[in-house]
């Protein structure tokens, strides 16, 4: 019997930059259903990115940050013969984007004492330059996968 095809929710693009990816990020930043607050935070962060980088299109910085922060490989636990192995696996593009968004959001939330839009703008700029906490997390994930390369033959 064939597997059921998983129908993903199609996110409508945001109304300023007309980007589905950005609308998804707005949903990631949202807390307690306060989407309008999340929108304000992200659009303020984009205004700061415009000022700091001099780039009139902050969506380019955002896309570059997402591309840089997304991992190519990760490890998954697999139980074989009573032992758990960390098996390196390639990351699907949808999951890569989801992880990048989550890591950038968490890195921005982690720094206390400043407004969220400032922290988010700094984290996005840093990620677009291959710096920052989200990139560190990606590198740690890649190191884990590299260290467990010997168990790659368990990936089936």
Give pLDDT, residue 140. 95
**pTM value > 0.85:** yes
Cα distance between the two ends of the chain: 20
Give pLDDT, residue 114. 93
| Positive or negative torsion for Cα 137, 88, 76, 2 | positive
Residue indicated by tokens 């700091």: 52
Per-residue model confidence as pLDDT tens for the chain (156 residues): 788 878 878 888 988 999 999 999 999 999 999 999 999 999 999 999 999 998 889 999 999 999 999 999 999 888 888 888 888 999 999 999 999 999 999 999 998 899 999 999 999 999 999 999 999 999 999 999 998 888 777 765
Residue indicated by tokens 């609308």: 23
Q: Which residue, 58, 38, 40, is CA-closest to 48?
A: 58
Give pLDDT, residue 10. 84
Structural domain boundaries of the chain?
20-154
Residue indicated by tokens 């032992």: 83
Count of beta carbons in the 10 Å neighbourhood of residue 20: 12
CATH topology of domain 20-154: Ribosomal Protein S7 (1.10.455)
Region class of 79: left (phi > 0), else alpha (psi between -120 and 50), else beta: beta
Report DSSP state, residue 46. H
Which pair of tokens denotes residue 75?
């490890």
Give pLDDT, residue 155. 64
Give pLDDT, residue 135. 95
């Amino acid at each position: 019997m064939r597997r059921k095809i998983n129908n993903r929710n199609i996110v409508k693009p945001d109304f300023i930059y007309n980007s589905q990816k950005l609308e998804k990020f707005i949903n990631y930043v949202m807390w307690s259903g306060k989407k309008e607050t999340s929108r304000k935070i992200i659009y303020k962060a984009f205004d700061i990115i415009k000022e700091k980088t001099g780039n009139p299109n902050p969506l380019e910085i955002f896309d570059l940050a997402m591309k840089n922060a997304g991992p190519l490989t990760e490890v998954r636990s697999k139980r074989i013969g009573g032992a758990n192995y960390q098996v390196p696996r390639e990351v699907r593009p949808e999951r890569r984007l989801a992880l990048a968004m989550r890591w950038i959001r968490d890195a921005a939330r982690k720094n206390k004492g400043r407004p969220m839009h400032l922290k988010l703008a700094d984290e996005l700029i840093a990620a677009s330059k291959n710096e920052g906490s989200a990139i560190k997390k990606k590198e740690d994930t890649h190191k884990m996968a590299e260290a467990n390369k010997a168990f790659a033959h368990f990936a089936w």
